[in-house]
Amino acid sequence: MEMKQINVGGMHASNVALGIMRMDALSDEKAAEVIDAAVDAGINYIDSADLYGHGASSAKFKAGLKLAKASRDELYIQSKGGIVSENDGDIPYGNRYNFSKQHLIAAVDGELQRLGVDYLDSFLLHRPDPLMEPAEIAEAFDELQTAGKVRHFGVSNFNPMQIELLQKYLQQKLIINQLQFGIMHTGMIDFGMHTNMTDDRSVNHDGQILEYSRIHDMTIQAWSPYQYGFFDGVFIDNPKFPELNKKMQEIADIYGVTKNAIATAWILRHPAQFQVLLGTMNPQRIKESAAGSDVELTGQEWYDIYYAAGNDLP
């Protein structure tokens, strides 16, 4: 199936991607089903991190890909690193960050082995480290690129000045920033509409990262697109959000798709050229959510959903 594509640093990537954070819980056969379901839906971009499943999610992807119809050559594979444990052990759940050259190179090497690939199409710094030494990160990136281990670089959850500081030292252009965004996480756009006001929505939490990303041609990868809060749960079919689900269903019926597709389409309707990261490991849900790539909401439908989510306009 064909899916709308965007230019991610020269990569012709599907505007919906598959995040494999939860893949560690699957059997090898189920992992293969998930991979094939994503490819059948038109997805050609995979996102992982050394933190996911303590590394087991990437290893499960490797096992699943061996059984899948899909091949590595038809996929862009991305991973993230930089979150480690207090004792810097073998891919533990993190409680500190480490952007040293040694750790970043080891993180990539570990992911290449677990994923079963010779190179990463992109590698992202998982969260901003206040102790980062940009010149040392630059050395790591140069070595990784020269060795053919990583083709492109980016960041995750960085604000504009953190990106500017890092970019000053890099030869490579940072092409991606992975940020939470969706119908129930709209701070990036709320702030812009409440300029020069004093209400809560006027607070600039992220340094105008949306506008910065568009100016600098950085792709924003929207993580947890169907979540409310910080991993509090999904809003789709959640009785806590009756008005939102009613409006989404009304619009879904117009286009002959599900509410998952509408939640995807709502993000993609924004002109910033987002890439939506799906986190589900349910093949049917992947198909339903990815279908939003083919739905182009009207401006009024987009605003109707924004209102139904509890937002207002100044």
Place of tokens 């990537």: 13
What's residue 91's pLDDT? Answer: 46
What's residue 85's pLDDT? Answer: 59
**String of DSSP letters for 54-82:** GGHHHHHHHHHHHHSS--GGG-EEEEEE-
Q: d(Cα 189, Cα 305) in Å, to the nearest integer?
A: 14
Q: Which value, in Å, is the radius of gyration of the alpha carbons in the chain?
A: 19
- Residue 26's Cβ-side half-sphere holds a number of Cα atoms within 13 Å equal to 25
What's residue 1's pLDDT? Answer: 67
Nearest 5 degrees, angle CA 183-CA 188-CA 192? 115
What residue spans define the domains of the chain? 5-235+259-294
Q: Residue 72 has which token pair?
A: 């590595």
Chain Cα centroid distance, residue 245: 24
Chain Cα centroid distance, residue 154: 11
Superfamily of domain 5-235+259-294: NADP-dependent oxidoreductase domain (3.20.20.100)
Place of tokens 């568009």: 214
pLDDT in tens, the chain (314 residues): 679 999 999 999 999 999 999 999 999 999 999 999 999 999 999 999 999 998 999 999 999 999 999 999 999 999 999 998 555 555 455 578 999 999 999 999 999 999 999 999 999 999 999 999 999 999 999 999 999 999 999 999 999 999 999 999 999 999 999 999 999 999 999 988 988 989 888 888 888 999 999 999 999 999 999 999 877 899 999 999 999 999 999 999 999 999 999 999 999 999 999 999 999 999 999 999 999 999 999 999 999 999 999 998 88
Encode 95-129: b = buried (16+ Cβ within 10 Å), e = exposed: eebbbbbebbbbbbebbbebbebebbbbbbbbbbb
